Structure formats: structure tokens, C-alpha cells
Amino acid sequence: MKNYFNVIKTALSCLLIAGMLGFTQQVKAQKEKPNVLLIMADDLGYSDLGSYGGEIKTPNLDELAYNGVRFTQMYNSARCSPSRASLMTGLYPHQAGIGFFAGDRPNNPPGYRGKLQPRAVTVAEVLKQSGYRTFMTGKWHVGEPAPTEQGFEQFYGFDHGYAANSWNEDMMIRLPEGADKIEYGDGEFFDSDAFTDYALKFIKDAEKETPDKPWFTFVSYHAPHFPVQAPQKYINRYKKKYQAGWDQLREERLARMKRIGILPEDAELSPRSSIPLPRVAKEHGVPGDLESNPAWSEIPDDRQKDLARRMAVYAGMVDNMDDNIGRMVEHLRETGELDNTLILFVSDNGACAEWGPYGFDLPQRMLDAKKPGQGIGGGTPGLPSKLYKGEELDEMGGPGTGIAYGSGWANVSNTPWSEYKHYTYEGGIGTPFIAHWPDKIKGKTEGAIRHQPSFLFDITATIIDVAGADYPEKFDGNEIEPLEGKSLMPVMFGRTLEERPLVYEHTGNAAIRYGDWKMVGKNVLDGQGMVDNPDWKLYNIAEDRSEIYDLSAEYPQVLDKLEQKFMKEAERTYIFPRPGE
């Protein structure tokens, strides 16, 4: 009799399991559209990831890269607010209204009003109309209104300011108001961990509430933007790594980039890049001519120790972000959703050189903000870079400290390119871009490297494409700018996009890329348009992407054509008119 009941019990269990599997298969059949996980890093350099040549431990992103597709010529808009505006809307940042920075500037020209304009619609709004659940965590930084009023159902992060103290939970806000929160005990909060906690919460809730619906989750990490901070265990992994200095690290990265196929064998390392604010560097006691970063060997020993620790903290911040990305990937793998999830990773701009080789330290008042939703903002932090010595070195990056790592290390992060965030040279606008989607990216495509020139708005177009969503001509009664981006799905399978000009502008720094040619300059635009006798440089990017050999004198006719094309595109995309200086 006992055996009889065991047989019945086993049979019922099998029927139950079969029923559950049948339900899962039915749900998966209903859920034909893929989930989309969009991840953005903040101020991450072009070559910081292991899969792009860096020495920082990023095994989770590297796994996505080696089992997906890496792009070597993805471009951003040189700074956080404009890049996010482009990514959120599929337009140039000026078309979306944020050519400069987030903030309400209603009297500015149309391209510089500081918040998303009625002529733009967010990718979350587009996907929501197509049946997607929409979630966001992290840094917003495209002005008011809040994310939950622009297409996202749930939000956790900071919706004002350009940065936050990663250890300070008070800076964060949960939307919609009154929504349930995750409780953190004393010493448990770190923002990259929390942004991931909430992203997983939103995804898990959606899996329970609407298992038949796909979701779009945007995880907008604050890492590794200043204040550069990380949990101690991550910093300790790099305690000695950067004592060799930035000159040696740049050479080592260049060699790895060639070995793994990110760069051609004949790629050259650009000279040490400029110091953004030579006056500040002089006040900090930086040696050398102050036109470019000094040689590491010129730096005094005590300052070398300080700087090596600053870079170790930066590396730890990136390492921690990678671990958190691994947590999300593991959840998707455990739930069987990894194959049907398009994961995209990108950085908002090149590495941050603010404001010289020694970096700077944030005022304590900025670190101690108590108003939820208010990140760090309100102008350039002006404190000199503190020189940490002895036991103080071990405190760097922990609670109560807020550092920037400076232009010397930013030059390493952008290896082998020249310049940094703010500027439209390759170091300012070049970004790693990884796409991973096992259902589609497999076989010969898996692990591919693509050299197609592309722009952040192409990521938006790709998401809309794979979601099968309709980009509207009108939204909420407003005429919408036509989608500027092009889907990159064909590129992932080896095809190329039609040649097109790509234009860039930020604070008067500008560039145009068309085919193999790039025209770029610092302070070439002002409130009247193009300055008299602009100092444009001309580079053949196919042969010299490191922007070492200026060909403007040799090919004046090419420069003239690019200047004319830039002016035409600048008029079309709201770069002109610019605000008065």
C-alpha cells in the first residue's frame, strides 16, 4: 500500500511539474518580444574594461562582450547630460533640448533649454505604448520632470545633480512617491549595490505580476563618476597595481588592445593629453610645463602614492559595478530569461580629467547633503587636491572622502586616444559598447568586433527595432522630431550602415565625422556661430584615430567641405543658434 501511494504521489508530482513547464512555455510563447536591459556607466574611459584592453577586473562585462558583439567606434556627446538626452530620445542632444547641461533655461535657444523638449519622446514612452514594463535606477540628469513622468513606471536613484556621494542614502529618491523601499542598515548602503538591488526588485516584481509582458530596465550607474569611491575590498585588489604610474599603464593597455583586436597593429599612442585648467594645476604644485600631463617620473614620491591610491579607488569602483552587473545576469540565467534579453552596455562620455593631474577633493558640504533626490551639483568643485599620506591613504575612497582621480589617470582610461570628457576629440566621445542577446547573437556573430561608426541615438533605434515598437510622429499632442538613429541589428550580423555625417558640439568644442575624415576643434564656436579663423584640426581616422597627425594644411579642400557640412548639420540639429557667451 505504501508503494502504491508513492507511485500516485510521484505521478501527481510529474503532472504538476509538466503543468508548470507547460505554463512556462505558454508564457514564453506569449512573451515574443525580448526584454531589454540597458546599462550606462558614468565617465568610464574607452579602455577601462578588460575586453577593451584594461587591467581592471571586469569578468562579467567581458563575458557579455566575448559572447556578444563589441563596437569599437561608438560615439557619445562628450558629457553626461547631452549623452543621456541622446540615449533617451534617439536624437542629437540639441534636438532633444539639452545641448549643454540639465537645468531649466526657457530663454535659451531651442537646443540649450536644459530639459527634454516636447518635440522629443523617450524610449521608455515608446516602449510603454508597445506593451513593455519600464523601470529605471540610478542617475537621471536630463532635467525635469522626473523619470516617472517621462515613461518609467518605477524609479530609484537621484533625479537632480550630476553626481552623488555613493555612501549617502539621503541623496536618493524613490518614485512614485509612497512606493515600497528596501531597508539598509548602518554601513550597508553603497549606491551601485542599491541601484542593482532595485533593478532586480523591479524585474522580479514584473515577473510575478505580468509574466507575459516584456520589460525595459535602464540601469544608469553613477560609477565611476567623481566622487570616486568604492568598498574597501575592491580597492585592496589594486593596492599596488598603479604604483608603476600612468606612462607604463598606457603602454601596457595599448599592447593588450592590439592583441585582442580592438586596435590595429599599427595604432599609435597619442602624446600625453592637455591639462584642462593649467592655472589650477600650477596652484596644486604640478611639475612640468603645464601644457600637458607631466611624466610620472617627474611626480614627487608622496604624490605618486596619493595618485596610485586614487586610481586604485577608481578601479575598485568599476570592479564593484561589474560585480553588480553580474548579479543581474545571474538572475536572468537562473530564471531562463537570459537568452531572450538584449543586454546593452555603454558609457556616457570619455574619462573625466577634472581639473588637472592631481584631481581634486569635494567639499564636505557636498558629501553631506540630506535632501533626497538632490545629487551633487551647482558648479565646479574648487577644492585643491588633498595630499593623502600614511594611514590616510587607507581612508581614501571610503565614507567621508570624495576624490577625483585627475587628468593623468583619465589619459590612461582613454588609452590610446587624446583628450577627455568635455572635448570632441576621440578621448571625449569614444565609448565601449557591448551588445549581448543569445537568441540572436550566436555562431559566427558571437564574440564579433564591429568597426561601424555609430552614435548613442543608434542604440535607441536598435531598442525600438527589436521591441517591434512604433516611433510616433506625434506624442501627447506634440509633433515629434524624426528618429535620428539607425538600428544596429544589421551591423551585428556583418552589414554596414549607409555613410552619414556625425556631428558633435559641447561648450563650443565641436567636430564632424564623415567617412574616414574627422574635423575637430576646441572653442571653435561661440554665441554668434563659428569664431573667426577657427582652429580646426583634420584627421584621417582610418589611419590615425589617435589624432596625432593634423592634415588640415595638406588637405584644405577636405577641411572646407567638412566645415560646410558641419554648418549645414549644425543648423538642422539645433546646434545653431547657440546661447550668447
pLDDT at 109 (0 to 100): 97
Reply yes or no on whether 451 is catalytic: no
461: nearest Cα among 518, 500, 417: 500
Q: What is the mean pLDDT of residues 175-195?
A: 97
Per-residue pLDDT band for 444 (boundaries 50, 70, 90) equals: confident
pLDDT digits (tens, 9 = 90+) for 390-443: 999 999 999 999 999 999 999 999 999 999 999 999 999 999 999 999 999 988
Question: Which pLDDT does position 378 carry in this prediction?
Answer: 72
Q: Which residues contact 298 (CB under 8 A, 6 or more apart)?
A: 287, 288
Q: Are 5 and 188 in contact (CB under 8 A)?
A: no
Region label for 324, one of left (φ > 0), alpha (ψ between -120 and 50) or beta (otherwise): alpha
User: Which amino acid does the sequence have at 165?
Assistant: N
pLDDT of residue 379: 66
Q: Are strands 35-41 and 215-220 parallel, antiparallel or unpaired?
A: parallel
Q: What is the mean pLDDT of the chain?
A: 93
| Average of per-residue pLDDT across 293-300 | 98
In eight-state DSSP terms, residue 173 is E
Mean pLDDT over 124-135 rounds to 98
Beta strands in 307-370 (DSSP E): 341-347
* Rounded CA separation 581/573 (Å): 20
- Measured distance CA(86)–CA(96) in Å, rounded: 7
Give the CA angle between residues 223, 445, 438 to the nearest 5°: 65
Q: Of 141, 160, 225, 422, which is the active-site residue?
A: 141
Task: State the alpha helices, DSSP H only, in 109-187.
Answer: 123-128
Instruction: Give the whole-angstrom CA distance, residue 534 versus residue 521.
Output: 8
> What single string gives the DSSP state of each residue in 460-486?
HHHHHHHTTPPPPSEETTEE-PPP---
Measured CA distances, 51 to 103, 261, 320, 493, 531 (Å): 36, 10, 16, 20, 41
Q: What is residue 372's predicted lDDT score, i.e. its pLDDT? A: 87
User: Which of 425, 413, 412, 404 has its CA nearest to residue 354?
Assistant: 404
Q: Can 80 be counted among the known catalytic residues?
A: yes
74 has pLDDT over 80: yes
Q: Is the pLDDT of residue 151 over 50?
A: yes
Rounded-to-integer distance, Cα 423 and Cα 238, Å: 29
Residue 185 CB neighbour total at 10 angstroms: 6
8 Å CB contact between 513 and 453: yes
Alpha helices (H) along 67-187: 80-89, 93-96, 123-128
With CA atoms as reference, report the closest residue to 548 among 267, 297, 231.
Answer: 267
pLDDT at 32: 85
Taking alpha carbons only, the member of 129, 145, 125 closest to residue 218 is 125
**Contact between residue 504 and residue 77 where contact means Cβ atoms under 8 Å apart:** yes
- Point out the catalytic residue in the list 80, 94, 284, 352: 80
